[in-house]
Amino acid sequence: YTVVRAPYAGIVVERHVEVGEMARPGTPLMTGFSLEHLRASASVPQNVMSAVRKIRKARISLRDPLQPGKRLAEVAAQKVTVFPFADEKTHDFKVRLQLPQDHAIYYPGMFVKAAFDVGSAQKLLVPAQAVVHRSEVTAVYVVDENDRVSFRQVRVGGRLINGDQLEALAGLDAGERVALDPVHAGVVLKEQRAGSKAP
């Protein structure tokens, strides 16, 4: 018999052969993970790919599954590697993020969220949940200073990296309020219209 040693310190996650079993040359014996050199993979849309490739800064955060908005931990990526090809179906680019070695909460197989630094720009953003799509119409419910609701058509850009906001390209001005619950806002608008028609 012989002693097989891994070239790195870590943990064994799967054994491919049993004790006493004949192992042929080239047959993998075990699968292991090094906890010192963890990496995270992410997909980035092509419209921000040039900025991600140029700046190469990102943060990896771990969210609480019971409270999605709460961060349990966040670290800066030590290295950002951009693969020079896009997925044929999604047109997204694969990016690999190197985690620092001094972390104590990230483990192989975990789901994390990556935020990329793509520079700064003045953009008018609207929560994605406030946007309504009806046939070919994209709109939001706008709430004025008297709390009256109106249904307004808008033009929005692509979804941002954080996944919960859209860029308002036309139809909205900075400072205007939009309803975050379109269903409730629609009910309020119907009540307003019914009230205005009442004698």
Would you kindly state where each structural domain of the chain is located, as residue ranges?
39-116, 125-197
Read off the tokens for 145.
Answer: 């200073």
**For 140-152, what is the mean pLDDT?**
88
Torsion of CA 55, 166, 93, 47, to 10 degrees: -70
Contact status, residue 155 vs residue 171, Cβ threshold 8 Å: yes
- How far apart, in whole angstroms, are the C-alpha atoms of residue 46 and residue 51? 10
187 has pLDDT over 80? yes
Q: Is 20 left (phi over 0), alpha (psi -120 to 50) or beta?
A: left
pLDDT band per the 50, 70, 90 thresholds, residue 161: very low
Q: Is the pTM of the predicted complex or chain greater than 0.75? A: no
The answer, yes or no, to whether residue 171 has pLDDT greater than 90, is: no
Q: Which fold has domain 125-197?
A: 2.40.420
Backbone φ, ψ for residue 127 (5° rounding): -60, 135
The H or E element that residue 61 is part of is strand 58-63
Residue 22: pLDDT over 70: yes
**Which residues pair with residue 113 across a beta bridge?**
61
Q: What is the pLDDT of residue 109?
A: 87
Please state, in angstroms and rounded to a whole number, the distance separating the CA atoms of residues 29 and 26: 9
Reading the block at residue 129, the tokens are 């949940």
Rounded Cα distance between 168 and 174, Å, is 10
Closest CA to 41 of 80, 91, 12: 80
Question: pLDDT over 70 for what percent of the chain?
Answer: 93
What's the whole-number average pLDDT of the chain? Answer: 85
* b/e 137-150 (16+ beta carbons within 10 angstroms → b): eebbbbbeeeeebe
Q: Which residues contact residue 73 at a Cβ distance below 8 angstroms, ignoring those fewer than 6 apart?
A: 61, 62, 103, 105, 106
Specify the length of the chain in residues: 199
Note the pLDDT of residue 198.
Answer: 56
